[in-house]
A and B are shown apart, each in its own frame.
Chain A
Amino acid sequence: MLSVKNLSVQFPTDDGMVAALNGMDLQLHRGETVGLVGESGSGKSVTSQAIMGLFKETRAKISGEITFEGTDLLALSEDRMRTFRGKKIGMIFQDPLSAMHPFYTVGSQIAEAYRVHNKVSRKAAKQVAIDMLARVGIPDPKKRVDNYPHEFSGGMRQRAMIAMALVCEPELLIADEPTTALDVTVQAQILDLISELQAETNSAVIFVTHDLGVVAQLCQRVVVMYGGQCVEQASVREIFTAPSHPYTRGLMASMPHLSGEDDRLTPIPGSPPALLDLPSGCIFADRCEFAALVPDNRCQNERPQLLVTGEHAARCHGHEMSLLPKTIKVGA
């Protein structure tokens, strides 16, 4: 359904080109939920925004391929892309307070999203918004439809945001860290809501997060990102039981026990790569505890390819050459 291949996105800055994505790959099937996992700056959000075509008519340089149901999205004009946005691909943003327009009512913003793709009257669109609010579990939607975003609580706002993203029943929903700004209890409700609605509409979901716990709960498949690349993708089970890439292993190791507190630490030594000046070899090499195992300084000199074995793919010389120690199962 969706295929992202060798996608690169560069932003010009005063200091030079920032390579936000460096050959990103991602596959998605109908009805599937994929978790897009990685640290801040790994390119998760850039990937989702590139799929939405939000870099069109900006100074960002894009290359590679994004195919959605046979359509090359990168080749589309802004106007053609508009017919995909909201209608076929919906998006939920991280902070619903800043992502919703402060000066318009929640209802009118939902109705607007509907009306732009469906020729209906204002009144009918408002009814759609009310129904949608009811569907996402907002009590007394007839009254709440005329409220402004600031009059909603955080969780309610995210529900409204979801209502806005799903009002046209898109085939693909991109949820960009939808729970980050919310309390833990509300987070769970929102996650439940997304999976419920997904079940109802049978849409595919890309779930962008850095919370592996959320991934475990919601997704079938996981794509791990690092330095603007997909370093590993596999089913949730595989990732958790047999992570191939050293970075994924580090993530797993750093993941607190599910019973424990979620403080989202990534205690892998070192810091993410500087996107202004990427190494020519493996992007993870200077943080990798196994890089020394690979002979001839390959990790430092040669960029590894994404090696696909069945449903599992990884981008690592050590893995490719089977030099890595066996993985241990993490979690309880």
Chain B
Amino acid sequence: MIGFLFRRLGAMLILLLVVSFITFTLFQFGPADPAAASCGQECTPERVEQARIALGLDKPFFVQYLAFLSGLVGPRMLGAPGAEQVCAWPCLGKSFQTNENVTDMIANALPYTVSLTVGAVVLWTVVGVGMGLFAALRKGKLADRLIVGAASFGVSLPIPVTGLVLLLVFVGTLGWLPFTTNAIRSPFGEAGFFGWTTNYLLAWIALAVLFSAQYVRITRNNMIETFSEDFMRTARAKGLSRGTIVFKHGVRAGITPIVTMLGLDLGAMLGGAVLTEQIFSVPGLGFTAVRAATSGDLPVTMAITMLAAFFIILFNVIVDVSYAFIDPRVRVN
């Protein structure tokens, strides 16, 4: 197990390195020139070159890349000659747009994305898995058909639509919920758990509508398959109660694909829910990433891309490890 973990972590580092290199390269050869982007209509070629120096883009590609990597190992120096500044470890550079330390930007944005993710994941897992299970137990009956129908409708609703409708109805018209504020970033702050919940609730619901649908489908299909397994018949033949049969035997056995999907979704969500964060004014990683990408802000884009990749890879490892806890047969191999 320990060896397995070390191998996976090693592979993770290499993968991150590859991701960083690719992002860096793409940016280098992309259509937009960040130096030219730094000034508008009155941008003389001379000014563009000065901006290039200011942003550190005047150096050769590999020097830039190695300088970036050096910031991951220890502190590095940033800025034009004569106005250098120390960027403390871990240094991901400074924003081309706002000169903010990227590490700080990410540390600021992360709690919002985590808040968004945690609530949404809990909501869609409970709703999606719950309804999927219920549908599987009522296979072929009206309840099953209603749930399957609702799921295929939910999965076809894009976030901008559900998001805007929810905002208009519950915030605009009914006024049951407040406008989202960026003052609440965790349930442990001044606003407390209740304030946190009301602040993020609509965003959670918008995400849950989309994601629950997928969980309903996978849970239903998977549970129907599991319920037809021999060991489920055995469980009944032992005289176990319905609850024990469904949850202890059925859900436990059928949970693997759901855990896999949950892990991958979690990883992807933590990288930033771009549309949801935009619509609900949640200044998380997705919000920050869009700003950065549209303004040619290389350091911020790099950092968020790498962080998103890190989360995805990390949760892949977590999913793999969790297999060993769920399924004893995996432990031997």
Chain A residues packing against B (C-beta within 8 Å): 49, 52, 54, 59, 78, 82-87, 90-91, 93, 95, 98-103, 112-113, 116-117, 148, 150-151, 164-165
Contacts and interface: CB of A to CB of B under 8 A. Distances in A.
Interface stretch (B179-187, B192-200, B238-246): B238-246
Interface in B120-158: 140
Interface stretch (B14-22, B38-46, B170-178, B325-333): B325-333
Given A54-B233, A93-B234, A102 B327 contact: yes
B229 to A, nearest CB: 7
Contacts of B332: 150-151
Interface string B204-242: 000000000000000000000000011101111111111
A272 B235 CA distance: 31
Contacts of A78: 242
Contact of B328 (A83, A112, A148, A165): A148
B231 A98 contact: yes
A52 B233 CA distance: 10
B238 A54 contact: no
B291 interface: no
B237 A101 contact: no
B8 interface: no
Given A101-B252, A116-B241, 20 more contacts: A52-B236, A52-B237, A82-B240, A83-B239, A85-B236, A85-B239, A91-B234, A93-B237, A98-B229, A99-B233, A99-B234, A102-B329, A103-B252, A103-B253, A103-B326, A103-B327, A116-B244, A150-B328, A150-B332, A164-B238
A151 B328 CA distance: 10
A86 B328 contact: no
Nearest to B234: A99
B249 interface: yes
Contact of B239 (A87, A95, A102, A148): A87
Given A93-B233, A101-B231, A102-B231, A116 B238 contact: yes
Interface of B is mostly: helix
18 contacts: A49-B233, A52-B236, A52-B237, A54-B236, A83-B239, A85-B237, A86-B238, A90-B237, A91-B237, A93-B237, A101-B234, A102-B328, A103-B253, A103-B327, A113-B238, A116-B244, A150-B332, A151-B332
Contacts of A116: 238-241, 244
Nearest to B326: A103
Interface centre among B140, B229, B230, B237, by most A CB within 10 Å? Answer: B237
Interface string B231-271: 10111111111101000010011000000000000000000
B238 A85 contact: yes
B238 A112 contact: yes
A82 B252 contact: no
A100 B237 CA distance: 12
A148 B329 contact: yes
A117 B237 CA distance: 12
Contacts of B229: 98
Contacts of A150: 328-329, 332
- The 3 lowest CB-CB distance pairs between A and B, nearest first, are A85-B239, A86-B239, A98-B230
Contacts of B233: 49, 54, 93, 99
Contacts of A164: 234, 238
A90 B13 CA distance: 54
Nearest to B252: A103
B286 to A, nearest CB: 37
Nearest to B242: A78
B314 to A, nearest CB: 25
Contacts of B237: 52, 54, 85-86, 90-91, 93, 165
Given A93-B230, A95-B230, A150-B329, A101 B241 contact: no
Contacts of B239: 82-87, 113, 116-117
Interface in B302-333: 326-329, 332
Given A87-B239, A116-B238, A116-B240, A99 B328 contact: no
Contacts of B253: 101-103
A99 B239 CA distance: 15
Interface centre among B234, B242, B332, by most A CB within 10 Å? Answer: B234
A125 to B, nearest CB: 13
Contacts of B140: 59
B251 to A, nearest CB: 11
A316 B252 CA distance: 50
Contacts of A52: 236-237
Contacts of B242: 78
Contacts of B230: 93, 95, 98-99
A117 B239 CA distance: 8
Nearest to B325: A103
Nearest to A53: B236
Contacts of B327: 102-103
A113 B249 CA distance: 13
Interface centre among A54, A103, A116, A117, by most B CB within 10 Å? Answer: A103
B241 A82 contact: yes
A222 B249 CA distance: 35
Contacts of A101: 231, 234-235, 249, 252-253
B151 to A, nearest CB: 23
Contact of B231 (A90, A91, A100): A100
Contacts of A54: 233, 236-237
Contacts of B234: 91, 93, 99-101, 164
Contacts of B252: 101, 103
A256 B63 CA distance: 83
